[in-house]
């Protein structure tokens, strides 16, 4: 945000004298009416403090002023930088002096740029405060130079000297004495006198003595059953098959009691707390850091700067090719900060309040650099973020398939579409990023964290901290949502580890505040679509699409440029076109680093294709449903032009089901009637894909030298000493109910009940149940996690059968699994001969003398690695199968836009999902609800908005407004099941959804305004934007059609 | 920042049990509950009073415990999610949330339970709109709110039958 | 997230509170429900040395309807007001009180605190302007009553002197045949209103507007009264043309800011739309129709 001021005034001294005053901060600063203190840094630099205040809020503004230009006696320029509440500013002010009579005419102009989170508070409402603060500094300067002021200067100086000598305390005491005198003077009003010492003490409450101040929370020891709540849920289920049962979750028991263990709930003796000082600038050189005041605060253990970090740690591995390898990404800014909110100094203290107090005392001097906030400016390369990369153009590649020239030459219609934009937003999990890190006496690091892809994180952190991977013990418990965002929190994990090391190995807890999360916790990437051209045949079937796409991944690529290939998992979306050319690019900008976000990179492509479909349909006068039916892929498995294999699906059936759910025909009639009344009602369709289970070989398409391919997930299963079935996973569930669905799968395999299966909570490297791809991301658990658990079960069953056959003197083929009188057992079919799990375990673990030598290899402790059948893609042709399964979604929305207020309201919403065979219908429906809410929120309410100085204007929840219940329509939910031929269970990964609501809502808004000459070409459509669209009809400008003779 | 701050002694009844503690005046109620009493079911999800994860009942009324100082709750009765279970029996709302899959990650759940518990105490048979209004200040990022509403409706309906 | 340290004071009487505040000076702040102040302190936008907790002062939570005046005590929480008899008899009060923020904030936030905060976008100042309310204050110099228009002097700034506190607000009991409506638009319950409008009007038989008062929130640094729009309606038989003219007059005086919640131009259009809706509800309520009003979310 920029403000400009200018003016002129006359002073009585001649130019030489006026210049002398003006060019010496020591002389004129004390003249400021609100002056409070001055400190000279060097001959040309002064730190000036003035008091400022608006309304009820008062504070001090500190400005460091440097005399940059000095042309005596004509011209002086000051560059000032300063802090205001919640922000910082840069002020350039110049003075030109001309003689006038015996005096001087001073012409001045100032330019102020304001940065910081203050700009976002209260929807920008707090901006007024900051403006007024700065204005008061400027006014002060102006006044300081005026003749009247100079007359008073001496007197003021003397007064100020006195004021300075009296601290706050003596000021108060003086006031109090005055009051006492006044009170004494008033008869019969002794109670009005206030005891000064009592007032300074404040209210203290009753005494602590004679009361048990150690009373602690406890609860009666009621009798309890193992897995009590889950057993009750299991008992209420009819039938003995568990896969496909709508079972209530095992996780719920602790979570509804508030007994989940999220990172911030974890406390350990000696634990310290870390708070971060973050850059208010989007792009600035770090000139100087002074941590001395912070370190002097009692309770502060240490501070840590980027330079200290860089001295001992290696920058993180970069995924990008070529010069992208030279990007230096550390957990803290070293020489410069490149986004607002980038950590600059860490403060470690005994409690979080002291840490926050100390963070405020850290002094950082910045030199602002030009900010890059959009793809266009980024590509100009005038201001470069990463010197090692040498450009902001981080990645480029062309994806071309089929014969574009031929398709366009033969087209009946070619439609050209102008720029379209996919905006910046994120799922903002309700639990922010958090970690407790301990640098242990054994030389390694212990993490309790909420990262959702720990397998990659330990591979990132170990080389950065010069540790072996096994020296990192990484553990998660309950995770309060991730949606991909928490993949990117590893820099904070490493930072906390280094802080712990500096604090002598005491555990360090770091919990991100919400504002920090919004600035720096991981944004979904923006994408812009340029030069789109679509070829269609005479029936409205799309034959070719070409376009140029540019991703904006923010300041540090981190997980990028994987997004530059992941979108191509759904290259043609749900449509059968064979000729596609996308020129794909990625730029870095001075915005928060991006991270995977629910629907990561695919939803951008799906939105693009859905917009293309609807814009073409509208142009050709084909209805949206008919257009889709003409273009849908119908044969499965289907190999896309870039070699991806869509496993199964039935898009026309999805459409039919969704139409039925929403009452399509009825709404069509209502729409017609409403239109006749001049109301704006629109119906929109979105068909999307949720591609799951990545082939990591696709990473080689962005960088051929990366050593990854395929995918893996691990599960362990064992019969414990008491015969309990214990399973551990490699996933990091954050609400998806893996403990429950795994228990369902294992129960079916062993013929027992889910409450007889112990599935361990969370991820733990100590479980030894992880591989290099373990984690929860990319809609894969139903395939990878459950395949691993299922595979482990098969191996365990084999061992159990061998043991049982020996113990029961029976043939393995005659044995069956089930539940007997003594719990889970194997028995000889048709007999009462059986051995329970305890018996089997005892043979291996306890009563081992009875185990015959030929069974000595049996451990009843299985580790199974599931590896999907992937090949390494052809990196030159960018061709190969990139994902294993393709769940599909079809959403329909009916939206009415109020003709008076432009506020859109969703009147009806239907979501139909196909994720193949469903393990737990309740959980699947819940995932669809959640993904739908994220999409609706993003389409209508949620956006990370930056100004051109790289200030984030929506840095709190109150400003970003994540979707609430008041904004959500009632969802009509339905499903179909087209089993995947590629997973053992016919299931497809799901959960991310394909961002169907983003498109569905855009389409409905477009349909509501069908005759207004507007084209919806942005994913974000708040009422203000709908209004702007209506005022500036853009169809003719954005959509150009060439019709060819048949 | 003033020079020296005396701690304040406060009495609070939390989940039916009396506590006396000395706290810094600036300690928020949510910090008191989590740090002083170790009741970590009450969560912190934002810093601007938007998300409601910290909702507790104060003398029966739902409040955001992140937007209140512990000293302000001196002498008050506080009910947190840990106080809903009675004699080893979950509150019907807790059961219903699980049965209707009204929670996924569980982070917002304590706040949702306390907001709707307060609602049902005041109005045992709320309609759908009243339920929505009661949780308008509670953010859930997982469920799209659908099953939370269903879970509360089920309790409202069952108590009607009873 | 964590406020800076402060001293805490808990006076037991209004007199003591005033004395404390005026003694401690400008670096001390009164703390009522804290729903405006505490978020500011948590973000360290302000660091008072002392907080004087007036939340427990006796006799300041009340509603009265006596002698042609409705009076609401300063420490009455929004939710409590929304459930009071006053909210039943004067529906516009319920529109406002029941729609402020969310249920939790309505439990704690008080009308006195809200009006003292003088946020340009918040609900009570606009509503009280619609009702031509007076703010009753008590301070070191004694008691005084200030018209709402004089009470809020600038954005976030009131006529309150150091040590002075709001004790109640009051407005004339609307006569029979008077109906009102207040509508605020906001993205979510806990978000700040973007813009709001209140209409209180008396409609005589024949659908003639006898008397009307219109106030706007979020349309400038302080709530604005739309006098020209009132003139467009007053004494006229209400029809859609009259309403359109009034709506134009409303939009003409609004000066909402351009920000992330919308352009100034859009907000003026939005205000126009909300005004027409509020006008419709107010008209129908003046004929005793029962209409649940509320804030608009999107």
Name which of A160-174, A336-350, A532-546 the model is least confident about. A160-174
Selected for mutation to probe chain B from C104, C184, C192, C298 (highest B CB count within 10 Å) is C104
Tell whether the model's pLDDT for residue B85 goes beyond 80.
yes
If one counts the domains in chain A, the total is: 4
Q: A940 CB contacts (<8 Å, ≥6 apart)? A: A904, A963, A967, A1001, A1020, A1021, A1022, C298
**Which among B26, B62, B64 has the least Cβ separation from residue C3?**
B26
Tokens at A740, concatenated = 């429950």
C-alpha B132: how far from chain center: 16
| A985 in any annotated domain | yes
| A253 in any annotated domain | no
A651, A654, A658, A661 alpha-carbon torsion, rounded to 10°: 160
Q: How far is residue A974's CA from residue A913's CA, in Å, rounded to a whole number?
A: 6
C104–B136 CB contact, under 8 Å: no
Q: How far is residue A378's CA from residue A857's CA, in Å, rounded to a whole number?
A: 61
Tokens at A717, concatenated = 């299963």
What chains are in contact with B, requiring at least 3 Cβ pairs below 8 Å? A, C
Average pLDDT of the segment spanning A441-469: 96
- Listed by start position, the domains of chain B span 8-83, 92-161
End-to-end, the C-alpha distance of chain A in Å comes to 55
The runs of H, that is alpha helices, within chain C are: 14-24, 37-42, 78-82, 85-89, 91-97, 103-108, 111-117, 123-130, 148-151, 227-233, 240-253, 264-286
Q: How far is residue A580's CA from residue A888's CA, in Å, rounded to a whole number?
A: 21
Distance from CA of A520 to the nearest CA of B (A): 14
Going by DSSP bridges, is the β-strand pair C134-139/C142-147 parallel, antiparallel, or unpaired? antiparallel
Specify the CATH number for the domain of residue A274: 3.90.1170.50
Chain A positions touching B57 (Cβ under 8 A) are: none
End-to-end, the C-alpha distance of chain B in Å comes to 57
Tokens at A539, concatenated = 């029936």
Tell whether the model's pLDDT for residue A325 goes beyond 70.
yes
Higher-confidence residue: C289 or A748?
A748
End-to-end, the C-alpha distance of chain C in Å comes to 27
**Which among C7, C154, C270 has the least Cβ separation from residue A901?**
C270
Tell whether the model's pLDDT for residue C81 goes beyond 70.
yes
Give the pLDDT of residue A169. 34
A584, A683: one domain: yes
Tell whether the model's pLDDT for residue C64 goes beyond 90.
yes
C-alpha A165: how far from chain center: 50
A24, A90: one domain: yes
In the DSSP assignment, the letter for residue C256 is P
A15, A36: one domain: yes
Average pLDDT of the segment spanning A335-348: 98
- In degrees rounded to 5, what are phi and psi of residue A289? -130, 130
Going by DSSP bridges, is the β-strand pair B77-79/C7-9 parallel, antiparallel, or unpaired? unpaired
CB proximity A481 to B under 8 Å = yes
Q: Report the candidate in A110, A104, A68 with the shortest Cα–Cα distance to residue A89.
A: A110
Contact criterion met (CB below 8 Å) for A333 and A343: yes
- Region of C67 (left: φ > 0; alpha: ψ -120 to 50; beta: rest) is left
Going by DSSP bridges, is the β-strand pair A579-587/A542-552 parallel, antiparallel, or unpaired? parallel
Tell whether the model's pLDDT for residue C209 goes beyond 90.
yes
Q: A901 CB contacts (<8 Å, ≥6 apart)? A: A1023, C185, C269, C270, C273, C274, C277, C296
Higher-confidence residue: C158 or A118?
C158
Average pLDDT of the segment spanning A23-51: 73
Q: How far is residue A96's CA from residue B150's CA, in Å, rounded to a whole number?
A: 71
**Which among A222, A965, A966 has the least Cβ separation from residue B88?**
A222
3-state secondary structure of A919: coil
pLDDT in tens, A363-396: 999 999 999 999 999 999 999 999 999 999 999 9
Distances (CA, A) of A527 to A324, A420, A939, A1002: 20, 9, 15, 16
Selected for mutation to probe chain C from B8, B51, B61, B67 (highest C CB count within 10 Å) is B67
What pLDDT band is residue A793 in, cutting at 50, 70 and 90?
very high
Q: A34: number of CA atoms within 13 Å, CB side?
A: 21
CB proximity B22 to A under 8 Å = yes
Return the H-helix or E-strand segment holding A25: helix A25-28
Overall residue count recorded for chain C in this entry: 298
Q: How far is residue A635's CA from residue A219's CA, in Å, rounded to a whole number?
A: 60
A548, A678: one domain: yes
**Which among A203, A941, A1024 has the least Cβ separation from residue C263?**
A1024
**Which among B26, B97, B104 has the least Cβ separation from residue A353?**
B26
Chain A positions touching C5 (Cβ under 8 A) are: 353, 357
Chain C positions touching B6 (Cβ under 8 A) are: 7
CB proximity A222 to B under 8 Å = yes
A255–B109 CB contact, under 8 Å: yes
Specify the CATH number for the domain of residue A190: 3.30.530.20
**Which among A249, A256, A961 has the least Cβ separation from residue B113?**
A256
The overall longest dimension of chain A from CA atoms, in Å, is 121
Selected for mutation to probe chain C from B1, B2, B4, B118 (highest C CB count within 10 Å) is B2
What chains are in contact with A, requiring at least 3 Cβ pairs below 8 Å? B, C
Tokens at A949, concatenated = 């100085």
Contact criterion met (CB below 8 Å) for A530 and A581: no
A274, A172: one domain: no
Name which of A26-40, A250-264, A888-902 the model is least confident about. A26-40
Please give the share of chain C, as a percent, with pLDDT higher than 70. Answer: 99
Q: How far is residue A1038's CA from residue A1023's CA, in Å, rounded to a whole number?
A: 21
Which residue does chain B place closest to A248, by CA atoms?
B99
Tokens at A285, concatenated = 């050189």
Domain region containing A478: 264-369+433-511
| A663 in any annotated domain | yes
A844, A939: one domain: no
Contact criterion met (CB below 8 Å) for A442 and A269: no
DSSP string, A666-735: HHHHHHHHHHHTT-EEEEEEEEEEEEEEE-GGGHHHH-TT----S--EEEEEEE-TTS-EEEEES---SS
C-alpha B133: how far from chain center: 16
Chain A positions touching C276 (Cβ under 8 A) are: 900
A941–C298 CB contact, under 8 Å: yes
- Quick count: other Cβ atoms within 10 Å of Cβ A102? 8
pLDDT in tens, C239-254: 999 999 999 999 999 9
Give the pLDDT of residue A108. 77
| A295 in any annotated domain | yes
Interface of B with A in 46-65 (CB under 8 A): 46-51, 53
| A382 in any annotated domain | no
Computed on alpha carbons and rounded to an integer, the radius of gyration of chain A in Å comes to 33
Q: How far is residue C74's CA from residue C14's CA, in Å, rounded to a whole number?
A: 12
Give the pLDDT of residue A167. 32
| A757 in any annotated domain | yes
Distance from CA of C40 to the nearest CA of A (A): 9
Chain C positions touching B68 (Cβ under 8 A) are: 34, 38, 108
A602, A746: one domain: no
**Which among A352, A900, A966 has the least Cβ separation from residue C272?**
A900
Instruction: Give the count of Cβ contacts less than 8 A between chain A and C.
Output: 184
Distances (CA, A) of B32 to A512, B49, B74: 19, 17, 11
Which residue does chain A place closest to B80, by CA atoms?
A258
Average pLDDT of the segment spanning B121-136: 96
Give the pLDDT of residue A94. 81
pLDDT in tens, A627-662: 999 999 999 999 999 999 999 999 999 999 999 999
Give the pLDDT of residue A281. 96
Give the pLDDT of residue C49. 94
Q: B39: number of CA atoms within 13 Å, CB side?
A: 26
| A946 in any annotated domain | yes
A814, A885: one domain: no
A941–C188 CB contact, under 8 Å: yes
Higher-confidence residue: C258 or A568?
A568
Q: Report the candidate in A436, A437, A499, A426 with the shortest Cα–Cα distance to residue A261.
A: A436
A636, A735: one domain: no
pLDDT in tens, A932-977: 999 999 999 999 999 999 999 999 999 999 999 999 999 999 999 9
Tell whether the model's pLDDT for residue B73 goes beyond 60.
yes
Give the pLDDT of residue B161. 60
Give the pLDDT of residue A186. 44
In the DSSP assignment, the letter for residue A325 is G
* pTM metric for this prediction: 0.92
Class of domain B8-83: alpha beta
Higher-confidence residue: A93 or A394?
A394
Specify the CATH number for the domain of residue A820: 3.30.365.10
pLDDT in tens, A573-632: 999 999 999 999 999 999 999 999 999 999 999 999 999 999 999 999 999 999 999 999
Give the pLDDT of residue A171. 37
Tell whether the model's pLDDT for residue A50 goes beyond 80.
no
Look over chain A and give the mean of its residue pLDDT values, rounded to a whole number. Answer: 90
Look over chain C and give the mean of its residue pLDDT values, rounded to a whole number. Answer: 94
C215, C216, C222, C227 alpha-carbon torsion, rounded to 10°: -50
Give the pLDDT of residue C123. 95
The runs of H, that is alpha helices, within A32-146 are: 127-145
Name which of A611-620, A793-802, A879-888, C254-263 the model is least confident about. C254-263
| A192 in any annotated domain | yes
- Region of B15 (left: φ > 0; alpha: ψ -120 to 50; beta: rest) is left
pLDDT in tens, A130-188: 566 566 666 666 666 665 655 665 565 555 444 433 333 333 344 444 544 544 444 44
Q: How far is residue C192's CA from residue C297's CA, in Å, rounded to a whole number?
A: 11
Give the pLDDT of residue C295. 72
C-alpha B38: how far from chain center: 15
Give the pLDDT of residue A742. 98
Please give the share of chain A, as a percent, with pLDDT higher than 90. Answer: 76
Distances (CA, A) of A57 to A172, A870, B1, B159: 19, 62, 14, 49
Q: Is the ipTM of this complex over 0.85?
A: yes
A901, A1002: one domain: yes
3-state secondary structure of A266: coil
**Which among C24, C26, C269 has the least Cβ separation from residue A58?**
C26
A47, A176: one domain: yes
A923, A949: one domain: yes
The domain made up of B92-161 has a fold known as DNA polymerase; domain 1 (1.10.150)
Tokens at B80, concatenated = 């947190």
Higher-confidence residue: A1040 or A2?
A1040
Tell whether the model's pLDDT for residue A458 goes beyond 80.
yes
What pLDDT band is residue A1006 in, cutting at 50, 70 and 90?
very high
Contact criterion met (CB below 8 Å) for A1 and A947: yes
């Amino acid at each position: 945000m920029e403000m400009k001021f200018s003016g002129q005034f006359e002073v009585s001294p001649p130019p030489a004298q006026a210049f002398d005053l003006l060019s010496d901060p020591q002389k004129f600063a004390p003249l400021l009416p609100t002056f409070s203190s001055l400190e000279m840094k060097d001959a040309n630099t002064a730190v000036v403090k003035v008091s400022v205040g608006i309304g009820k809020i008062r504070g001090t503004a500190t400005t460091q002023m440097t005399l940059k230009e000095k042309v005596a006696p004509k011209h002086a320029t000051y560059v000032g930088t300063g802090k205001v509440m919640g922000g910082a500013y840069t002020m350039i002010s110049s003075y030109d002096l001309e003689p006038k009579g015996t005096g001087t005419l001073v012409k001045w102009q100032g330019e102020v740029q304001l940065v910081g989170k203050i700009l976002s508070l209260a929807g920008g409402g707090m901006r007024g405060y900051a403006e007024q603060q700065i204005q008061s500094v400027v006014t002060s300067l102006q006044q300081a130079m005026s003749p009247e002021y100079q007359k008073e200067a001496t007197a003021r100086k003397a007064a100020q000297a006195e004021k300075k000598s009296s601290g706050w305390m003596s000021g108060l005491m003086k006031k109090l004495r005055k009051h006492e005198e006044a009170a004494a003077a008033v008869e019969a009003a002794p109670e009005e006198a206030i005891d000064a010492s009592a007032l300074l003490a404040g209210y203290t409450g009753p005494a602590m003595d004679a009361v048990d101040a150690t009373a602690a929370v406890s609860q009666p020891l009621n009798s309890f059953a193992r897995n009590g709540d889950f057993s009750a849920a299991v008992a209420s289920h009819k039938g003995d098959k568990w896969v496909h049962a709508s079972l209530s979750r095992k996780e719920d028991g602790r979570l509804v009691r508030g007994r989940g263990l999220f990172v911030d709930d974890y406390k350990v003796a000696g634990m310290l707390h870390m708070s971060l000082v973050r850059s208010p600038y989007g792009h600035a050189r770090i000139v100087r850091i002074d941590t001395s005041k912070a370190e002097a605060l009692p309770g502060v253990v240490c501070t840590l700067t980027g330079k200290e970090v860089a001295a001992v740690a290696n920058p993180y591995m970069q995924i990008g090719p070529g010069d992208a390898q030279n990007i230096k990404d550390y957990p803290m800014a070293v020489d410069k900060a490149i986004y607002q909110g980038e950590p600059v100094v860490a403060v470690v203290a005994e409690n979080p309040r002291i840490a926050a107090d100390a963070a405020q005392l850290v002094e950082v001097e910045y030199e602002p650099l030009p900010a890059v906030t959009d793809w266009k400016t980024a590509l100009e390369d005038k201001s470069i973020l990463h010197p090692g990369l040498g450009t902001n153009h981080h990645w480029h590649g062309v994806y071309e398939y089929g014969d574009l020239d031929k398709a366009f030459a033969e087209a009946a219609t070619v439609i050209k579409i102008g720029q379209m934009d996919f905006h910046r937003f994120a799922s903002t999990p309700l639990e922010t990023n958090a970690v407790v890190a301990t640098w242990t006496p054994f030389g390694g690091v212990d993490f309790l964290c909420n990262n959702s892809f720990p397998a990659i994180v330990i591979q990132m952190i170990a080389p950065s901290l010069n540790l072996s991977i096994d020296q990192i013990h990484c553990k998660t418990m309950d995770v309060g949502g991730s949606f991909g965002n928490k993949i990117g929190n590893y820099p904070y994990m490493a930072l906390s580890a280094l802080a712990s090391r500096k604090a002598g190995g005491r555990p360090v807890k770091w919990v991100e505040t919400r504002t920090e999360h919004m600035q720096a916790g991981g944004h979904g990437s923006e994408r812009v679509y340029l030069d789109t051209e679509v070829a269609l045949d005479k029936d409205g079937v799309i034959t070719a699409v070409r376009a140029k796409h540019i991703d904006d991944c923010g300041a540090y690529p981190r997980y990028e440029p994987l997004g530059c290939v992941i979108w191509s998992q759904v290259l043609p979306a749900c449509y059968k076109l064979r000729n596609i050319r996308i020129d794909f690019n990625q730029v870095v900008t001075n915005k928060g680093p991006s991270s995977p976000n629910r629907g990561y990179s695919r939803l951008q492509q799906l939105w693009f294709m859905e917009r293309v479909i609807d814009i073409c349909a509208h142009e050709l006068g084909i209805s949206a449903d008919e257009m889709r039916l003409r273009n849908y892929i119908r044969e499965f498995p289907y190999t896309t032009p870039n070699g991806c294999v869509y496993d199964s699906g039935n898009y026309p059936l999805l459409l039919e089901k969704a139409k039925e759910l929403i009452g399509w025909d009825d709404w069509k009639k209502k729409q017609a009637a409403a239109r006749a009344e001049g109301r704006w009602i629109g119906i929109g369709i979105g068909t999307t894909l949720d591609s799951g289970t990545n082939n990591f070989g696709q990473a080689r398409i962005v960088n051929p030298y990366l050593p990854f391919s395929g995918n893996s997930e691990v599960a362990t299963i064992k019969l414990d000493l008491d015969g309990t079935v214990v399973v551990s996973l490699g996933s990091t569930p954050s609400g998806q109910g893996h403990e429950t669905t795994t228990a369902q799968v294992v129960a079916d395999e062993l013929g027992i009940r889910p409450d007889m299966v112990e599935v361990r909570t969370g991820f733990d490297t100590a479980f030894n149940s992880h591989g290099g791809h373990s984690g929860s991301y990319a809609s894969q658990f139903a395939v990878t996690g459950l395949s691993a658990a299922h595979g482990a079960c098969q191996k365990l069953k084999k061992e159990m059968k061998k043991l049982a056959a020996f113990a029961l003197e029976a043939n393995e083929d005659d044995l069956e699994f089930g539940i007997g009188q003594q719990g889970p057992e194997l028995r000889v079919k048709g007999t009462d001969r059986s051995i329970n799990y305890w018996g089997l375990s005892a043979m291996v673990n306890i009563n081992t003398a009875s185990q015959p030598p030929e069974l000595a290899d049996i451990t009843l402790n299985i580790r199974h690695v599931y590896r999907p059948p992937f090949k390494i893609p052809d990196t030159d042709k960018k061709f190969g199968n990139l994902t294993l399964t393709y769940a599909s979604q079809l959403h329909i929305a009916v939206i009415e836009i109020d003709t008076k207020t432009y506020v859109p309201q969703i009147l009806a919403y239907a979501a139909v999902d196909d994720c193949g065979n469903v393990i737990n219908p309740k959980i699947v429906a819940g995932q669809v609800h959640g993904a739908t809410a994220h999409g609706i929120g993003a389409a209508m309410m949620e956006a990370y908005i930056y100004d051109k100085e790289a200030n984030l204007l929506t840095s709190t929840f109150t400003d970003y407004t994540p979707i609430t219940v008041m904004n959500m329509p009632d969802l009509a939910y339905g499903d179909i099941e087209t089993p995947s031929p590629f997973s053992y269970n016919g299931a497809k990964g799901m959960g991310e959804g394909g961002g169907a609501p983003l498109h569905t809502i855009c389409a409905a808004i477009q349909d509501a305004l069908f005759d207004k000459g507007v084209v919806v070409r942005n994913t974000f459509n708040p009422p203000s934007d709908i209004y702007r669209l209506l005022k500036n009809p853009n169809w003719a400008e954005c959509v150009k059609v060439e019709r060819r003779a048949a | 920042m003033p020079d020296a701050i005396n701690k304040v002694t406060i009495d609070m009844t939390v989940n039916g049990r009396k506590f006396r503690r000395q706290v810094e005046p600036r300690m928020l109620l949510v910090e008191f509950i989590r740090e002083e009493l170790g009741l970590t079911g009450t969560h912190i999800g934002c810093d601007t009073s938007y998300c409601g994860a910290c909702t507790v009942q104060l003398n029966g009324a739902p409040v955001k415990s992140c937007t209140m100082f512990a000293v302000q709750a001196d002498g008050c009765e506080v009910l947190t999610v840990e106080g809903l279970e009675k004699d080893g029996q979950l509150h019907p709302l807790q059961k219903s949330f699980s049965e209707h899959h009204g929670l996924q990650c569980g982070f917002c759940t304590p706040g949702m339970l306390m907001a709707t518990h307060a609602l049902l105490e005041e109005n045992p048979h709320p309609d759908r709109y009243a339920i929505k209004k009661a949780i308008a200040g509670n953010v859930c990022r997982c469920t799209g709110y659908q099953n939370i509403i269903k879970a509360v409706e089920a309790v409202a309906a069952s108590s009607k039958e009873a | 997230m964590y406020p800076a340290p402060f001293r805490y004071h808990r006076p037991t009487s209004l007199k003591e509170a005033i004395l404390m505040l005026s003694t401690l000076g400008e670096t001390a702040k009164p703390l009522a429900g804290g729903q405006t102040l505490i978020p500011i302190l948590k973000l360290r936008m302000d660091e008072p040395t002392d907080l004087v907790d007036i939340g427990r002062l006796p006799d300041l939570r009340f509603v009265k309807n006596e002698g042609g005046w409705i009076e609401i005590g300063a420490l009455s929480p929004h939710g409590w007001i929304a459930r009071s008899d006053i909210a039943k008899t004067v529906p516009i009060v319920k529109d406002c009180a029941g729609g402020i923020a969310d249920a939790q904030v309505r439990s704690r936030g008080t009308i006195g605190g809200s009006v003292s905060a003088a946020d340009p976008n918040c609900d009570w100042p606009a509503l009280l302007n619609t009702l031509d309310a007076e703010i009753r204050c008590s301070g070191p110099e004694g008691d005084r009553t200030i018209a709402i228009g004089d009470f809020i002097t600038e954005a976030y700034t009131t006529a309150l002197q150091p040590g002075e506190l709001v004790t109640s607000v009051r407005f004339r009991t609307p006569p029979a045949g008077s109906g009102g409506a207040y509508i605020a638009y906001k993205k979510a319950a806990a978000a700040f209103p973007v813009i709001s409008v209140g209409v209180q009007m008396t409609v005589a038989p024949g659908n003639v507007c006898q008397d009307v008062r219109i106030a706007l929130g979020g349309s400038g640094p302080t709530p604005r009264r739309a006098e020209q729009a009132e003139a467009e309606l007053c004494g006229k038989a209400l029809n859609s043309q009259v309403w359109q003219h009034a709506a134009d007059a409303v939009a003409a005086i609004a000066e909402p800011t351009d920000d992330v919640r919308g352009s100034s131009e859009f907000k003026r259009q939005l205000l126009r739309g909300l005004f027409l809706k509020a006008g419709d509800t107010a008209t129908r309520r003046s004929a005793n129709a029962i209409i649940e009003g509320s804030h608009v979310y999107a």
